[in-house]
């Protein structure tokens, strides 16, 4: 961070919010104390704006309210440890020291007269963004909206197959089961547009509880706690899938992103079966902390060779690339795409060779096991994890999704 000192306004008392700034802060659910420091909040997913410029506070509050993000407007730079997903600095604090914020997004805000100042400061602080209002209002709204989606502490693991029939759903269910058995509060979300439900491999009969059909008919915002209460369980892991007959394409736009956003606020681990790598929905690419491309072990097919380009062309935003973190977005965690090779290896083949052909680092290999196939056929897939031969490679795969591939190799 830059050592530039803030303007002479530091130390001046904070002024009360005016007009839209006060209204926007209320709409976003944020509160400020007289000292300018935010009161304790239930979640640390709001944004903090440090400025004494009322006009700028008004403009940012309206953008935050439209994006559905809580905003606290402070009269000083917040101290280390203050809960928030991002720090927004007005021109009066653009050069201020911000200890403890290095791992979180920082955006410098101002109006056209301050543009040169903002860019000069940003040049000394790698990773810091600049938004000049009102020109950048649309970008700021989208950016804050993405931060809102990533609110919560749960980790989102997205699995997508090179092609249909690669075992993505099986692997996702086993990953969710292993996470739950390890003590994490876990949910498995079936987001494969070609799926008609995963219950046949998890339970002998469909249990009572809410599925995609029910959520598709509902209206209004989805409370995270309610989501956790109404989803049926499979061996301790909550499951959201179809009961049969309805596909995700029939659901309201944006519902998947809303559900995953709610899930990460109440679950420790959110495992998402996204279908195929070429069709990953943007909402998933935005919130993912790690990605696994599921590759068949038998041979290097055209689907395997096209996995990386499929990821790059699909719903993933710029910067969501194999082996690379989000292009400097500053979100917590480093989302990596790795390969999960599954099935019987062909003659002369090994898992690393298959992963390399897809242009991905190897996350793990799960051989074809008769016990897994039999358990899925009998509607008790997750019970296969009782066998160490099944559980050990799944646990290792989960470990590697939390590790930089360069360090895990």
Query: What pLDDT digit, counting tens, does each position of 62-81 carry?
Result: 998 887 778 899 998 888 77
**Residues 181 and 309 reside in one and the same domain:** yes
- Structural domain boundaries, residue 218: 155-408
**Residues 68 and 159 reside in one and the same domain:** no
Indicate whether 368 belongs to any domain. Answer: yes
Query: What pLDDT digit, counting tens, does each position of 173-202 carry?
Result: 999 999 999 999 999 999 998 888 999 999
240 phi, psi to nearest 5 deg: -120, 115
**Domain boundary pick from 120, 149, 178:** 149
Task: Give pLDDT, residue 280.
Answer: 81
**Residues 24 and 171 reside in one and the same domain:** no
**Residues 240 and 191 reside in one and the same domain:** yes
Distance CA 15, CA 55 (A): 12
Query: What pLDDT digit, counting tens, does each position of 347-387 carry?
Result: 888 999 999 988 899 999 999 999 999 999 999 999 999 99
Indicate whether 2 belongs to any domain. Answer: no
Indicate whether 9 belongs to any domain. Answer: no
Kind of pairing between the strands at 233-234 and 237-240: antiparallel
Kind of pairing between the strands at 362-366 and 155-161: unpaired
What total of structural domains would you count in the chain? 2
**Residues 29 and 121 reside in one and the same domain:** yes
**Maximum mean pLDDT: which of 40-44, 198-202, 310-314, 319-323:** 198-202
**Exposed/middle/buried for residue 249 (C-beta within 10 Å: 0-12, 13-18, 19+):** exposed
Query: What pLDDT digit, counting tens, does each position of 318-344 carry?
Result: 333 333 333 323 223 334 789 999 999
Distance CA 62, CA 401 (A): 38
Q: Which of 87-96, 265-274, 301-310 has the weakest average pLDDT?
A: 301-310
CATH code of the domain containing 33:
3.40.50.2300
pTM metric for this prediction? 0.64
How many C-beta atoms surround the C-beta of residue 322 within 10 A? 20
Report yes or no: 271 and 245 within 8 Å, Cβ to Cβ.
no
Query: What pLDDT digit, counting tens, does each position of 188-238 carry?
Result: 999 998 888 999 999 999 998 899 988 887 765 667 778 888 999 999 999
Indicate whether 11 belongs to any domain. Answer: no
**Residues 177 and 214 reside in one and the same domain:** yes
Task: Give pLDDT, residue 298.
Answer: 83
Report yes or no: 138 and 144 within 8 Å, Cβ to Cβ.
no
- The DSSP-derived string for 253-279 is TTHHHHHHHHHHHH-SEEEEEEEEGGG
Q: Name all contacts of 372-378 with Cβ < 8 Å and 24+ positions apart.
A: 372/170, 372/174, 376/170, 376/201, 377/201, 378/204
């Amino acid at each position: 961070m830059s050592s530039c000192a803030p303007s002479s306004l530091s130390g001046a008392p904070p002024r009360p919010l005016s007009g839209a700034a006060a209204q926007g802060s209320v709409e976003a659910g944020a509160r400020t104390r007289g000292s300018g420091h935010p009161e304790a909040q239930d979640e640390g997913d709001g944004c903090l704006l440090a400025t004494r410029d009322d006009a700028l506070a008004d403009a940012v509050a309206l953008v935050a309210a439209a994006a559905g993000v809580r905003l606290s407007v402070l009269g000083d730079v917040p101290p280390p440890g203050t809960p928030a997903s991002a720090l927004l600095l007005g021109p009066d604090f653009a050069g201020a020291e911000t200890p403890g914020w290095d791992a979180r997004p920082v955006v410098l805000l101002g109006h056209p007269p301050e543009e040169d100042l903002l860019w000069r400061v940003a040049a000394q602080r790698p990773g810091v963004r600049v938004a000049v209002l009102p020109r950048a209002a649309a970008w700021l709204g989208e950016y804050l909206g993405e931060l809102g989606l990533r609110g919560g502490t749960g980790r989102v693991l997205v699995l997508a197959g090179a092609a249909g029939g690669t075992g993505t759903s099986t692997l996702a269910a086993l990953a969710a089961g292993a996470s739950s058995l390890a003590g994490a509060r876990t949910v498995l979300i079936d987001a494969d547009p070609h799926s008609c439900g995963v219950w046949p491999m998890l339970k002998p009969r469909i249990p009572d509880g809410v599925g995609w059909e029910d959520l598709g008919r509902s209206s209004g915002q989805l409370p995270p706690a309610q989501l956790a209460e109404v989803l049926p369980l499979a061996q301790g892991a909550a499951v959201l899938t179809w009961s049969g007959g309805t596909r995700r394409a029939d659901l309201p736009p944006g519902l998947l992103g809303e559900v995953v956003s709610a899930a990460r606020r109440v679950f420790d681990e959110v495992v998402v079966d996204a279908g195929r790598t070429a069709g990953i929905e943007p909402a998933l690419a935005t919130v993912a902390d790690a990605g696994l491309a599921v590759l068949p072990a038998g041979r290097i097919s055209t689907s395997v060779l096209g996995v990386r380009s499929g990821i790059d062309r699909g719903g993933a935003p710029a910067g969501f690339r194999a082996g690379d973190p989000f292009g400097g977005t500053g979100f917590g965690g480093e989302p990596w795409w790795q390969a999960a090779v599954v099935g019987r290896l062909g003659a002369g083949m090994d898992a690393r060779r298959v992963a390399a052909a897809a242009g991905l680092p190897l996350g793990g290999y799960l051989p074809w096991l008769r016990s897994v196939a039999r358990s899925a056929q009998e509607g008790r897939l997750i019970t296969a994890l009782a066998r160490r031969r099944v559980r050990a490679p799944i646990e290792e795969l989960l470990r590697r999704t939390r590790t930089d591939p360069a360090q895990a190799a």
